[in-house]
Amino acid sequence: MDTSETYIKMSDCPEIQKEARYIGDNMEELGNWFAFYVTGKWQPPVIYTYGLCLPYERGDYAVWLPRQDQLQEMVKEGNKFSYTNNLVLAGKFDKFCSWQANDITSLDWSMEQLWLAFVMHERYQKSWDGSKWIATC
């Protein structure tokens, strides 16, 4: 699981954060399928990769860090993975990675960073410029 500063920055965008699922009506209760980064007034930044976490106080800031399988769910075709859908998705991802390989900065990306970039490209027509997501034509 990528918990790097870069992945935290890449994940901290409205398009991805709206995909986070919370327990009940309390937006501060993060479910146990999360990995997330939390920072606040009274605590140093912490990465949680399992379990239930309640931010220590109101005002703490949490960023969901989607796992690779969760990112794949965001771009799957139809309601479930099938052999055909998996082949289509794998082909699109392979083409995307080949295109990304032309960009020297993408060569050291983790799999989560690559899949996140693929999700942002496919669903929102955005690409990572090294510091933020920008619209692509």
Q: Residue 127 domain-assigned?
A: yes
pLDDT at residue number 31: 47
Instruction: Give the C-alpha separation, 25 to 8, whole Å.
Output: 25
Comparing 12 with 21, the larger pLDDT belongs to 12
Tell me: do 75 and 120 sit in the same domain: yes
Q: Residue 73 domain-assigned?
A: yes
Structural domain boundaries, residue 96: 68-135
33 has a pLDDT exceeding 60: no
pLDDT at residue number 80: 60
User: In angstroms, what CA-CA distances link 32 with 49, 52, 126, 129, 137?
Assistant: 9, 5, 29, 31, 37
Mean pLDDT of the chain: 78
What is this structure's pTM? Answer: 0.78
How many domains does the chain contain in total?
2
Q: Residue 106 domain-assigned?
A: yes
Instruction: Give the C-alpha separation, 17 to 85, whole Å.
Output: 25
Tell me: do 39 and 83 sit in the same domain: no
Q: Residue 7 domain-assigned?
A: no
63 has a pLDDT exceeding 80: yes
Cβ atoms < 10 Å from Cβ of 18: 8
Tell me: do 75 and 58 sit in the same domain: no
Q: What end-to-end distance do the CA atoms of the chain give, in Å?
A: 31
Tell me: do 31 and 84 sit in the same domain: no
Tell me: do 77 and 115 sit in the same domain: yes
pLDDT at residue number 26: 47
Q: Residue 91 domain-assigned?
A: yes
Tell me: do 84 and 42 sit in the same domain: no
Percent above pLDDT 70 for the chain: 69
95 by DSSP, 3-state: which?
Answer: helix
Tell me: do 87 and 118 sit in the same domain: yes
2 has a pLDDT exceeding 80: yes
In tens, the pLDDT along 66-122 reads 889 889 989 986 656 566 777 888 888 988 888 776 665 556 889 999 999 999 999
pLDDT at residue number 99: 76
pLDDT at residue number 52: 52
Tell me: do 77 and 109 sit in the same domain: yes
